[in-house]
Amino acid sequence: MIRRNCSPMTEANHSQHRYRALYRIRRFEETVLEKFPTGVFFGTTHTYLGQEANAVGVLECLQQGDIVFSNHRCHGHFLAYGGDARALFAELMGRATGVCAGKGGSQHLQWKNFYSNGVQGGIAPVAVGMALAEKFKGSPAVTVVFLGDGTLGEGVLYEALNLASLWRAPLLFVLENNRIAQTTPLELALAGAIAARFQAFGIPCTELDTSDVEPINAAAQELLGRVRSGDGPQALLLHTQRFGPHSKGDDTRTPQEIENLKRQRDPLPIQAARLTPEWIAQIQAEVDAEISAAFQQALADPFPTAEAL
């Protein structure tokens, strides 16, 4: 986890760190999709390809003790939080060394103050409760919860928005609108405006339509500042693009459509433009080696045994 507030990084350093964080998620997820057909992973997966700048931009603002609640598309959030690639691979492979020793799998992670669950919407009130608990305990910790556009269809989310605002929970809602839920485009699932949903509960909503990690980070920094100073919950609506399938092999969009998205909205070239080619090459080589080693180590890790039950 990069902590802007804690590290006296130069601008160049900073850009490198961010590129590394973005590229790390990219390589991890590409490896997942590439290796899935070989049968090394259990269940399914939801990759974060295309959305990397959201996790990196937002979670860079975290301070010690802050909490993250993530959803089914949690790999990117976990890695940006500082999670270990080997432990995540191992979790997907159902190994004893996995984040949750193979009990949770791709969507159910818990490490330090990071949590994820794969039931749409249900995590929202849980995150509100966490934020309130920290407030009641007098701790300075704030909570960030990630939600997708499709999850706006779940009723319990609106109970959570109401409660969060009513009791001024120190919480940032991050709504990643990739305009699709599994195969259903936003137009077939959503009436009205997304920002207005938050605003109706008195939760200010900042909206961004970019794949550039810098403005995302700046917005998150600003909003988390407000959350920390006791202004109550805030919402960050990030319009974004999913490059990969919903899980695997289930993309109903045309290849042409996806190619267009990649050309226009890839966070990596945007961030790479801030680095020298040498740095890009070096970071890529280091991360490639890290991810490949993590994969191989996880593959050699033992499966859990009956005692784990």
Partner 1 sequence: MAMRSVLESLNQGLLRAFTAIPSVYLLGEDVLDPYGGAFKVTRGLSSAFPQRVLTTPISEAGITGLAAGMALRGLRPVVEVMFGDFITLIADQVLNHLAKFRWMYNEQVTVPVVIRTPMGGRRGYGPTHSQTLEKHFIGMPGLHVIAPAAIGDPGDLLYQAIHKTRDPLLFIENKLLYLLPLQSEEQADFTIETLPGADKPAWNGLPESTFPTPCYRLRVRGAPPATVTLAAYGYMAHIAQQAMLELALEHELFCELIVPTRLAPVAAGEIRASVARTQRLLVLEEGTRALGWGAEVLAQVAEAPGAGLRAAARLAALDLPVPASGALEALVLPGAPEVIAAALKLAEKQTLSI
Q: Tell which residue, 95, 126, 91, has the closest CA to residue 110.
A: 91
- Say whether residue 108 binds partner 1 (CB under 8 A): yes
How far lies 2's CA from each of 27, 58, 98, 272, in Å? 18, 11, 23, 18
Closest distance of CB 282 from ligand TPP, Å: 32
Query: What are the backbone dihedrals phi and psi of residue 307, each rounded to the nearest 5 degrees, phi first?
Result: -60, -25
Applying CB under 8 A, among 22, 79, 87, 132 the residue interacting with partner 1 is 132
- Does the footprint of ligand TPP cover residue 265 (CB under 6 A)? no
Helix 277-300 with 11-35: angle, nearest 10 deg: 40
**Assigned token pair, 192:** 């009205």
- Binding test (CB under 6 A) with ligand TPP, winner from 102, 148, 233, 267: 148
Query: Which residues share a beta bridge with 100?
Result: none
> Could you tell me which stretch among 36-44, 158-166, 218-226, 276-284 binds partner 1 (CB under 8 A)?
158-166
Size of residue set near ligand TPP by CB under 6 A: 15
Residue 178 binding Mg ion, by CB under 5 A: yes
Site string for partner 1, 15-54 (x = CB under 8 A): ----------------------------------------
- Check: CB of residue 54 under 8 Å from CB of residue 25: no
**How far apart are the C-alpha atoms of 186 and 149, rounded to whole Å?**
7
* Least separation in angstroms between CB 206 and partner 1: 24
Residues 54-73 close enough to bind ligand TPP by CB under 6 A: 72-73
Per DSSP, helices labelled H in 137-276 are 155-166, 194-200, 213-228, 255-265, 267-272
Question: Left, alpha or beta for 27 (phi > 0: left; psi -120 to 50: alpha)?
Answer: alpha
Q: How many chain residues interact with partner 1 (CB under 8 A)?
A: 37
Tokens of 105: 């799998």
The residue ranges that bind Mg ion (CB under 5 A) are 148-150, 178, 181
The residue ranges that bind partner 1 (CB under 8 A) are 67, 100-101, 103-104, 108, 110-111, 115, 117, 119, 122-134, 136-137, 155-156, 159-160, 162-163, 166-167, 307-309
The residue ranges that bind ligand TPP (CB under 6 A) are 46, 72-73, 118-120, 148-151, 178, 180-182, 246
